Structure 1
Amino acid sequence: MSAAPGGGRAGTGAARLPVVAVVGPTGSGKSELSLALAQALDGEVINADSMQFYRGMDIGTAKLPVAERRGIAHHLMDFLDVTEDTTVAAFQSMARAAMADIRSRGRVPILVGGSGLYNRAVLDVLEFPGTDAGVRAELEAELEAQGLAVLHARLAAVDPLSAGRISDGKRVVRALEVHRLTGRAFSSFMPEREYFQPALQIGLDLDRAQLHERLAARVHRMVDDGLAGEVEHLAAHGLREGRTAHRALGYQQFLRVLDGESTVERASEETIIATRQFARRQITWFRADPRVAWFDALRPDLSAAVLDAVVRATGHQP
């Protein structure tokens, strides 16, 4: 097989059309760039923002309204209720099916989103170990009863590499579940960086101070656009009952406003701080991948420069 851009496997015919992945921190302009690329490349967008999977979570996730998508098809948005959940493995299957469908019509798949593991699951040769509902429920009960510190210490004893990388309860439970089921460290399932099919990753970067200003402005805009009302509506439709949706940035902070435990002003500031922290983790994740081609998110000729890079790297002419 011939090498794909950045390494990996290449197929023939429609499968040779590259997937262009637009990555980087939240608030860097990925959605806007994806629209420009889709128009220029005759592409369709595949969403890789795990919180945009949820119907009704629009304002707080900065989801592009349908009217602003320029008629471009967007896949894997709005397919879950807030009470539902999915897995990275399931997303991998759905996203690759969408890629195959887009390519079969001679179009270019454009993967967009800042959820690092979801991006890598689609782009790379990546194996996912199985799950066991009983083991998962047992570990979740232990997390609830004993606390995160106890389970994290247990993970550190069997898989110090994973323990050093993850700190939230959901992922600690998953790592312990994998070790229980396979006898292998969760970290052992993270392979070398090898593309599953031809791909090019475009990273958007900007000065940290500018990013912080953009994130603060975006949170304030979300509040002005009715974030509190959106959270109240979703709470009435089971937001708290889901395992994942209620943890989204902004939603968990404004649920406390709804409960009378916080104010809009405090929730707004907490959301800004949490979003900045999240953006820092995203930057760390994507910067660790040497295959990402980085661009200044604020350069005036961004779309043209990225399009030129796509043509040069993949040979695909718009």
Structure 2
Amino acid sequence: MEVTKYTSSLIGETPLVQLQRSVPYKAAQVFVKLETANPTGSIYDRVALNLIEVAENDGRLTSGQKVVIATTAEVAASFALLTASKGYDLVAFIPDTASQYDLTVLRAYGAKVNLVAGGNGVANAITQARDLGQTSGHVFLDVYNDEANAAVHEHTTGLEIIEALGGTPDAFVTTVATGGTMTGVGRALRKQNKKVQLFAVEDKDAKFLGGEVAYPSKETGFNAGILPLNLDTTLYDSIIDLDLAKAAEMTRLLAINEGLIVGIAGGASVAAAIAVAQTLGRNQKVVAVVPDDGRRYIAQGLFDFKQEL
């Protein structure tokens, strides 16, 4: 083990784990990319780091300036971690639907939190953050529309999957929120193998990938009320509309069967991946992204169920 000076060095190189007890016998192998291993337990640590470093490298962000973001509280936590470790102040515009747990995490990192009416997701927050970002001493980083989001997944997450498997999977499955994971990983996989099937997962009660009205999902990791420019809608082969009750059930099963405490979005990705695996059959490989851990859901009672002895 090596000593590290920087929190940012702990981001990425997350494990790829093959599920053992959750996949039907005749189905394809299912592997999960555990982004829970990042410092905040979220895939957005990668995104926050890249957006900040790109802004530093191109001169937009310099010492003494304040970083301004507009996003969900979970995503904001990744920016709060990185700005704290790099010595920047963070101003976060967050929908007022955020949980007390997530707000406490943000404030623990020293972020200034501005709660914005969240009925339409992050749209109001983005408007206010963009306005502040145009004032002196502030830099707005746009997690939904900055190409640095997809780029980090193309150059890290996707390549890590290929390296771990010794090649590309037959199918890749992920939920869609900011759009960067599907676009970046999808591009990396397709550069190696144009036949890789890509599946985008969304909340069936907050559909937006097919052009529907973008009502935000009640859960993080899905539709936040906008269709992000990060998302290449020509890339994926199919959209899987998933009931969040099934996602929650899979989340609990992953804890019992695999020893993995993950979030609802992770449960959704895995549930969809297992469904895909059953159509492909044995000797095929499916990779699903688990974007965040389940700590926030413990406080919400997701795992409070009694076991028969």
Does TM, normalized by the shorter one, top 0.5? no
**Greater Rg over alpha carbons, structure:** 1
Point out the structure with the larger helix share: 1
Q: Which has the higher strand share?
A: 2
**Structure with higher RCO (Cα < 8 A, 6+ apart):** 1
Q: TM-score, normalised by structure 1?
A: 0.28
